[in-house]
């Protein structure tokens, strides 16, 4: 039985009748009495002792919680989606009707602090809901208030189909299935729903727990007002050995596999299953994973629910966990569920999901939120990261409308097309300011955003995808009579990071050279897999920066040539790699061993044999080896053609 108001394709015929009957004023009991409909766990007679059907209450509270299905009438082989609610009763407080359970007795004894704003401590606030915490009877409770956004959602809430009622029902179903979830305590009925749940003692969000225990923040780690994405953690933090008493990777893999299997057993689908909605508590040997935020749960689950759950977990853990750690979870789940999808199927589904996810995340740079803010300083207008907005506003306002780079700025690069400065702000931080010299280059056309604005969006898009780049702080435009007169891009500096060409010329140690080549190949591969291509991928636009673990990492800068596409074709991939190869030839720092090591790292896939093997007769005859040779010849042929073109145009080109 799905939750009413969710995907129609998952509804049973009974759910359709119940939804239509409630709108027309019919009771659920009368709808159930229609012969011939699938009732999946309902008594054959359809009689109830409490009024309307619990999951489809059309009046949002007519059901008093005294009905429960007869065990002999449940379908074999499936848990009933209706759960016993004998202990639920209806009360009124401050003009509101509430469904309460015995766990709400401490709140009732304490004069019902749920309605007292002075006793509520805000935990999370968004446009659709507000979460607060309250103490009563020596325990903690969470109060989640759902705001009715729009008339349709208000109507759904009045009909008992709002997010609060759906989460209440989902928590009861999950409890009956043996899942560890917060205990539902009370539910306010009506348009403004309020859900009260009991706090899980000593529990933390799994994502924050892992980031704190397994990763050490570096000096360049930016502040993040919301749930920190794992891609940013992979870019700005280094993994370390966790302190004693931390859950280990094998135990975490087994507990996650058990959680997914219990969801499959309960026939529940969570569209938002990620470690941000999972709490961890317990101690070594007795770890406990709990699910929260079940408002969007679907019951019964669609056929692809298991694959969707694995896909969401794979999307989160891929940037921060090794392939062997993720495969351990899949192997454990295969022991519990025989129909577990293969690793290749999960990887393919994750790639499709990741494209949609990143497109949604990219929209954050186009609307005000806790992450980004509009910026207005004198004649300048633009956007800024939330942690830089005040500092950039003060910097631009101090110029009084004049050129902000005229004072306190050091020229770093004065080229034919752009000029780059380094400025020192009043709060002690530095910024890199880039301006296009030609007015024709500042915008790609009337009605389109300026180049600085597009570079600002692309920079944050790369960071969201786990690709290291200089973090954009702000992008501002100066317009006169509606026409773009000037535009600036402000980014955070990358400390002690020479260009790749200069770093290779300095003849670094062999170990560092191999490490940087492999990391560069993986970064470009991730960029291509994420739907980004760079038409100006050259050695001076790649910096070699020291990471927090004293290792080196490549950082991509100058994003004017970056383009976001739906899928990067093999032709575009080869073209980007050809440009990088020609750039290294021009600087005279290319080595064949570096090229081979780079291409092997770019083409490698988890679970596939290496491109170069030493297995006697199979040496060089594997599919991976043949693929390596094809790409090598393709890039080499394109590089020679490009070098010939450059020689004819500019004269001699030095090569290694």
Tell me the CATH number at 140. 3.30.200
- DSSP string across 331-378: HHHHHH-TTPPPHHHHHHHHHHHHHHHHHHHHGGGGS-SSSEEEEEET
Residue 62 confidence (pLDDT) above 70: no
CB-side exposure of 131: number of CA atoms within 13 Å?
12
Residue 282 included in any domain: yes
Separation CA 401–CA 485 (nearest Å)? 12
Residue 224 confidence (pLDDT) above 90: no
If asked whether residues 247 and 333 sit together in one domain, one would say: yes
Which is higher by pLDDT, 10 or 574?
574
Percent of the chain exceeding pLDDT 70 equals 80
If asked whether residues 513 and 623 sit together in one domain, one would say: yes
Separation CA 266–CA 79 (nearest Å)? 7
If asked whether residues 79 and 109 sit together in one domain, one would say: no
- DSSP string across 41-74: TS-TT---SSSS-GGG-TTSS---S-----GGGS
Percent of the chain exceeding pLDDT 90 equals 33
Stretch (H or E) spanning 566: none
pLDDT tens for each residue of 342-358 = 998 999 999 889 888 99
- Give the per-residue pLDDT at 407: 65
| DSSP β-ladder status, 542-546 and 532-534 | unpaired
Other residues' Cβ atoms within 10 Å of the Cβ of residue 551: 13
Residue 362 included in any domain: no
pLDDT confidence bin for 57, thresholds 50/70/90: very low
Residue ending a domain, among 20, 55, 84, is 84
If asked whether residues 73 and 144 sit together in one domain, one would say: no
If asked whether residues 307 and 414 sit together in one domain, one would say: no
pLDDT confidence bin for 34, thresholds 50/70/90: very low
Domain count within the chain: 5
- Give the per-residue pLDDT at 442: 60
Which is higher by pLDDT, 59 or 502?
502
pLDDT tens for each residue of 354-382 = 888 998 899 999 889 889 999 998 889 99
Residue 409 included in any domain: yes
If asked whether residues 129 and 236 sit together in one domain, one would say: no
Residue 283 confidence (pLDDT) above 60: yes
pLDDT confidence bin for 479, thresholds 50/70/90: confident
- Give the per-residue pLDDT at 548: 57
Separation CA 267–CA 75 (nearest Å)? 14
The mean pLDDT of 149-164, rounded to a whole number, is: 74
pLDDT tens for each residue of 571-595 = 999 999 999 998 888 787 778 888 8
- Give the per-residue pLDDT at 24: 36
Residue 305 included in any domain: yes
If asked whether residues 337 and 243 sit together in one domain, one would say: yes
pLDDT tens for each residue of 301-341 = 999 999 999 999 999 999 999 888 999 999 999 999 989 99
479 Cα distance to chain centroid: 35
Contact 196, 189 (CB under 8 A): no
Residue 67 confidence (pLDDT) above 60: no
Residue 591 included in any domain: yes
If asked whether residues 300 and 329 sit together in one domain, one would say: yes
pLDDT confidence bin for 227, thresholds 50/70/90: confident
Residue 395 confidence (pLDDT) above 80: yes
- Give the per-residue pLDDT at 111: 85
pLDDT tens for each residue of 449-476 = 888 999 999 999 999 998 999 999 999 9
Give me the chain's average pLDDT, please. Answer: 79
Residue 403 confidence (pLDDT) above 90: no
Separation CA 474–CA 460 (nearest Å)? 11
If asked whether residues 64 and 121 sit together in one domain, one would say: no
Which is higher by pLDDT, 546 or 271?
271
Helix ranges (H only) for 439-558 are 451-464, 500-505, 510-529
Residue 279 confidence (pLDDT) above 90: yes
- Give the per-residue pLDDT at 521: 93
If asked whether residues 424 and 519 sit together in one domain, one would say: no
Q: Distance of CA 427 to CAs 394, 433, 493, Å?
A: 10, 17, 15
Domain of residue 322, CATH code: 1.10.510.10
Residue ending a domain, among 199, 218, 252, is 199
Residue 291 included in any domain: yes
| Domain coverage including residue 2 | 1-84
If asked whether residues 326 and 404 sit together in one domain, one would say: no
- Token pair in block for residue 548: 């927090």
pTM for this structure? 0.78
pLDDT confidence bin for 264, thresholds 50/70/90: very high
If asked whether residues 400 and 329 sit together in one domain, one would say: no
Residue 144 included in any domain: yes
SS3 292: coil
Residue 34 included in any domain: yes
The mean pLDDT of 93-122, rounded to a whole number, is: 86
Which is higher by pLDDT, 201 or 66?
201
- Give the per-residue pLDDT at 178: 86
Residue 213 confidence (pLDDT) above 60: yes
pLDDT tens for each residue of 551-575 = 788 999 988 889 988 889 999 999 9
- Give the per-residue pLDDT at 518: 92
Residue 28 confidence (pLDDT) above 90: no
Look-up: residue for tokens 């938002």?
272
């Amino acid at each position: 039985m799905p939750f009413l108001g969710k995907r129609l394709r998952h509804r049973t015929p009974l759910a359709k009748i119940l939804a239509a009957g409630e709108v027309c004023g019919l009771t659920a009991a009368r709808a159930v009495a229609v012969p011939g409909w699938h009732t999946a766990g309902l008594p054959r007679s359809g009689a109830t002792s409490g009024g309307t059907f619990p999951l489809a209450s059309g009046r949002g509270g007519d059901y008093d919680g005294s009905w429960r299905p007869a065990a002999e009438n449940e379908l074999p082989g499936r848990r009933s989606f209706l759960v016993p609610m004998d202990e639920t009763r209806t009360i009124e407080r401050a003009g509101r009707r509430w469904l309460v359970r015995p766990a709400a007795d401490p709140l009732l004894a304490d004069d019902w602090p749920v309605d007292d704003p002075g006793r509520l401590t805000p935990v999370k606030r968004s446009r659709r809901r507000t979460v607060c915490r309250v103490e009563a009877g020596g325990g903690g409770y969470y109060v989640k208030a759902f705001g009715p956004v729009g008339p349709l959602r208000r109507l759904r809430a009045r009909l008992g189909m709002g997010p609060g009622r759906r989460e209440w029902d989902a928590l009861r179903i999950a409890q009956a299935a043996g899942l560890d979830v917060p205990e539902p305590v009370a539910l306010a009925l009506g348009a403004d729903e309020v859900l009260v749940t009991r706090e899980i003692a000593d529990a933390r969000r799994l994502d924050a727990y892992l980031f704190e225990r397994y990763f050490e923040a570096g000096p360049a780690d930016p502040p993040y007002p919301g749930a920190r994405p794992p891609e940013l953690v992979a870019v700005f933090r280094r993994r370390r050995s966790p302190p004693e008493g931390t859950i280990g990777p094998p135990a975490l893999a087994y507990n996650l596999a058990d959680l997914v299997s219990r969801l499959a057993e309960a026939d529940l689908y969570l569209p938002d299953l990620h470690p941000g909605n999972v709490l961890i508590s317990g101690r070594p040997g007795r770890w406990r994973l709990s699910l929260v935020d079940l408002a969007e749960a679907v019951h019964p689950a669609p056929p692809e629910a298991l694959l969707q759950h694995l896909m969401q977990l794979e999307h989160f853990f891929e940037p921060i966990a090794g392939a062997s750690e993720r495969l351990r979870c899949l192997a454990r789940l295969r022991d519990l569920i025989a129909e577990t999808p293969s690793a290749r199927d999960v990887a393919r589904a994750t790639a499709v999901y990741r494209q949609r996810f990143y497109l949604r995340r990219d929209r954050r740079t186009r609307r005000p939120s806790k992450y980004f803010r509009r910026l207005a300083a004198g004649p300048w207008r633009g956007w800024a990261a939330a942690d830089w907005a005040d500092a950039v506003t003060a910097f631009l306002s101090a110029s009084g409308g004049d050129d902000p780079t005229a004072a306190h700025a050091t020229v770093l690069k004065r080229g034919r097309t752009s000029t780059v400065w380094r400025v020192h702000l009043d709060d002690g931080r530095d910024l890199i300011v880039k301006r296009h010299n030609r007015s024709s280059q500042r915008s790609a056309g009337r009605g389109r955003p300026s180049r600085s604005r597009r570079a600002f969006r692309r920079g944050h898009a790369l960071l969201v995808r786990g690709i290291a780049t200089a973090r954009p702080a702000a992008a501002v435009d100066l317009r006169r009579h509606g026409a773009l007169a000037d535009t600036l891009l402000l980014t955070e500096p990358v400390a002690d990071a020479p260009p790749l060409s200069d770093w290779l010329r300095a003849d670094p140690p062999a170990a560092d050279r191999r490490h940087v080549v492999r990391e560069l190949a993986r970064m470009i591969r991730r960029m291509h897999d994420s739907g980004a291509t760079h038409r100006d991928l050259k050695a001076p636009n790649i910096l070699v920066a020291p990471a927090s673990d004293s290792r080196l990492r490549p950082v991509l800068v100058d994003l004017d040539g970056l383009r976001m596409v739906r899928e990067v074709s093999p032709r575009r991939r080869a073209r980007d790699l050809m440009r990088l190869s020609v750039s290294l030839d021009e600087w005279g720092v290319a080595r064949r061993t570096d090229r081979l090591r780079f291409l092997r790292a770019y083409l490698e896939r988890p679970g596939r044999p290496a491109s170069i093997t030493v297995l006697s007769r199979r040496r060089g005859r594997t599919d991976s080896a043949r693929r390596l040779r094809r790409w090598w010849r393709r890039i080499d042929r394109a590089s020679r053609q490009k070098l010939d073109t450059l020689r004819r145009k500019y004269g001699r080109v030095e090569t290694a």
